[in-house]
Structure 1
Amino acid sequence: MDSNASLVNNQSAFEALDLCCQKIIEKMGDKPIEDWRLSDYNALSSKLGSQTKVYLSINTLKRLFGQLKTPQRYFPQKATRDALAQFIGYRDWHEFELVNAVGKGTVTETVTIPEPQLPLKKKKANGRVMALILSLIVVSVAISIYFLFWKNNGLDAQRAELVCENPFGSVPHTAVFKLKSTGDSDRQYHIDFMDEATTAEISGRKEVAKFFRNPGVVYATLLAGNKPIDTVAVYMQTKGWVANSGNDTSTAFPIAGLKPLNPKNISVSKKQLDSAGLATNKPFLVGYSNIKPSGISGDNFSFKCRVFAEQSRPGTQCVETTIIILGEKHRHLLTLNRQNCVAFSEYKFSEKRVIGSEQFLGALAFDPVNGGDIEIRVVNKHVSLILNQKKVLEVSYNKTIGKVMGIKILFSGIGKAVSPILQDLSTREIF
């Protein structure tokens, strides 16, 4: 049984974790972790999930590599460590520690014990004994894995349900989460809030309260081990289009007190950013949000908008434009860059995701410095993307995102959105 509490006080455990992280960095191209961007973490999360079926959020990866500071150094649970070890070629974390003997600051890549020279007959006898022992070990491990899998992925996990006591709020909002379970009330689960908050532990006896500062929809996912078993949404609503900004995804500065902006010309000025307390001498984001319930299907709609983005700012070579359509269950996301920065472009329509660092997205090159038109058309879960009146992408997905609950338009630097319109293709309802 893994005891995380005891491991985190063990220096050799952290030495092993450091070595594992270094090997992961080498596998991802040996780029210094200090130079990693959001796209690098996205790429690792995607590859790790594809290979091990364990999906870690961006914030979890940042804590793992020491790039997101916490009061105590982060040490992941065993299931996460097993996935990290499997990602770099080991069966599990235990094998990684055995092969890479770590202790007292010394790392040895392999430990080899020479085989004693025995008489031939004694070797054969010992060989039969060893074969029997190995067979028993294999059977024991197989039985253990079966019951572990059954416990973590079977009936216990299916009986747990995540509930948000107050899913609708304004900005800022403190949401309270509880667990409904017919199983062991002391059993520990985890809640993943993506980039909006740190992962939290929850059980039938423990509530979790989380503070959300950004307008939008947060998808809180309940994890049994590392398997997602339930998701609830929390809505930070607005009164029309509002603006906020930050120097990274974890900070938020409300602009003009989150008062409604002109929907035909959604923009902010540098003076308003200065008044909000934003450091405009460093790279920053400006986000426009319109969050409210609707009856519009997130799988049958059209979205049109004309956008204007800045030229490169000091410290920012690639100026991104991002459109997010938020649904009850999932979201659609589109990040666009100009031609020489398409490695940082990506699209995610429900579960269907492609990032520019893994697949060339040159057809999605988009430079709206002098204005550009974006149209997203979804018909029965089939997406058509039209940029400047030219169809550049067609893709289908499987999982519904439910009703549309919000729209976000994000810019690197100061951007402007002109008359965004989202309309249901069946009912003609306008968001």
Structure 2
Amino acid sequence: MKTKFENIVASCQIRFNRGEASTWKHSDFLDLSREILRDTKVSISANTLKRIFGKISVYQYYIPQQATIQALEKYGQNLQPDIINEPNDEPITSTTQQLNKSTQSRLNRYKIPITILVFATLVILAFTFFLKDDTLKSELKFVGKEGNLPATAFFEYTVPESEDSLFLNFGDKTKWQYVTAGKAHSAHAYLYPGLFTISLQSRKNTLQSTRVYIPSNKWIGLGYRQGEELPNNYYEFLARKTGKDSLFHLSNVQLKTKGIDTSGLVYTRLCNFTPIDKQVKNFIFEAKFKNVLDENGLYCKSAQFQITGNNKNIRFRITTPGCSNRITNLLSEQSFVGSRVNLSKFAMDLSNWTTIKMINHNKKVSLYVNNKLLYSGNYQEPIGPIKGIFLEFEGTAFVKSCSLKTEDGKILYNF
């Protein structure tokens, strides 16, 4: 397929007769587009032609759509390089008879230069096939939202032509949306609060990304099934304290009554994404909680908290013994992955009341668990204005308190 396509492209260059494609200007590609439309009734944009003829780099093994290939083949009259190199005069086929007389005369007069030109073009095309396309005009833009919580966010995007399937990943654990080449709009419902990164991407690479902030303006409780898409399996409610000693607890019974399958592992979360008016550089996070052990099976249980900044996050996870390989901790620009480094000090019994205190001072973080220093480290990139916090558990848990305050004691979030 690739060899045939290269020959078709070479034939089109010969037919167009304006020298090597690498020297063509934008006006040449516009003229070629008009000629192809006149001869084939198929419109191929100048930018697409630039990709085909190597003026714009393309994804590895790029091949245009079949309709485009057929139009190019018709325009080039299937003229192949080996026909030009033939030493004897062969009868003109019915296809080549359709070329005008002046074009045939030029071909006969410049056989050797044209052969060199075709070879050079094929080399250029072969080289560009192996280049990653960083110049394609892909775009993704957040243009607004409707509602508070839940909220519908609106996006505009431009998708380039690509061999790879491309998707919109909305960053909230919902299914990716398949997209096709061109400009379009998309609307997506966010069911729980947070700062989400939306990306236009293939299954492995990201072309463009943007962000959308969904505030809560209150404490929210959330429960959902492991590995399931949230729109089909979640329970969300306003989390309120009824008294000084009251607890936050989302039980399996409550989840079952909401239609959530609790035969496997579920996640529960307490979060608050109320915007903070001014940027806070130094702060203290504190929480007191305990996990509920599952009597029906042996599972990894964990508790994690996150301070979400506009630019970066600070996140720590503590897990039951034997499960530290599943931890991913974030400290602004740094990440610590349990499958790559030893994070066994973050493994401990969570069935008893556990206290956490994290002090962030001048980009230095000190994490205390049950009044003992567990971790201390520095980071370089500021996390930016704080957008929210959450405390999340594998399984169900009891939360007695959760707060974030400034160094001088001003309360930012308090449960």
* Residues 215 and 238, structure 1, Cα contact 8 Å, conserved in 2: no
Cα distance in 2 for partners of 1:309, 1:274 equals: 19
Q: Which of 135, 146, 155 pairs up with 1:151?
A: 135
Aligned: 1:250 with 2:233: no
Contact 2:175–2:229, Cα closer than 8 Å, also in 1: no
Structure 1 residues without counterparts, runs of 5 or longer:
3-91, 95-132, 180-184
| Match of residue 216 from structure 1 | 194
Aligned to 2:348: 366
Aligned mates of 1:292, 1:151 — CA distance in 2: 39
Judge which range, 391-400 or 314-323, deviates more.
391-400
RMSD: 3.7
**Structure 1 residues 88-167: aligned runs within 5 Å:** 141-142=126-127, 149-152=133-136, 156=137, 160=139, 162-166=141-145
Partner residue in 2 for 1:342: 324
Letter in 1 for 2:234: F
Equivalent in 374, 379, 384 of residue 361 of structure 2? 379
Correspondence list, 1:64-75, <5 A:
none
Look up the match of 1:226: 205
Partner of 2:405: 423
Matched, 1:260 2:236: no
C-alpha spacing 1:418/1:226, structure 2 compared with 1 (3 Å): same
The alpha-carbon deviation at position 387 of structure 1 amounts to 1.4
In the alignment, the residues of structure 1 paired with residue 376 and residue 182 of structure 2 have an alpha-carbon distance, to the nearest angstrom, of: 44
Deviation at 1:429, TM superposition (A): 4.4
Q: AA paired with 2:238?
A: L
Q: Distance in 1 between matches of 2:159 and 2:258?
A: 44
TM-score by length of 1: 0.57
Cα distance in 2 for residues equivalent to 1:364 and 1:324: 15
Q: Which amino acid aligns with 2:336?
A: V
Displacement of 1:296 in angstroms is 5.7
Correspondence list, 1:257-336, <5 A? 257-258=237-238, 260-262=240-242, 265-295=247-277, 297=279, 299-336=281-318
Q: Decide whether aligned partners of structure 1 residues 430 and 234 sit closer, same or farther in structure 2, where only a CA change above 3 A counts.
A: closer
Larger helix proportion of the pair: 1
Within-5 A mapping of 1:389-404: 389-404=371-386
CA 1:323–1:226: 2 relative to 1, 3 Å: same
- Structure 1 residue 367, shift from structure 2 partner: 2.0
- Structure 1: distance between partners of 2:128 and 2:363: 42
User: Is the Cα contact below 8 Å between 1:168 and 1:236 reproduced in 2?
Assistant: no
Aligned counterparts of 1:204 and 1:336: Cα–Cα separation in 2: 45
Deviation at 1:303, TM superposition (A): 0.4
1:251-303 deviation line (CA, Å, top 9, x unaligned): 34325x43534586222344433332233333222222222111364653210
Match among 197, 212, 218 for residue 239 of structure 1: 218
Note the C-alpha offset of 1:195: 4.7
Q: Which consecutive residues of structure 2, in runs of 5 or more, have no partner in the other structure?
A: 3-59, 63-117
Aligned-residue identity in percent: 19
1:191 pairs with 2:168: yes
Contact 2:221–2:268, Cα closer than 8 Å, also in 1:
no
Distance 1:428 1:204, change over 3 A: farther
- Looking at structure 2, the residues matched to 298 and 336 of structure 1 have their Cα atoms a distance apart, in angstroms, of 25
State the AA in 2 paired with 1:233.
Answer: V
Q: State the one-letter code of the partner of 1:216.
A: G
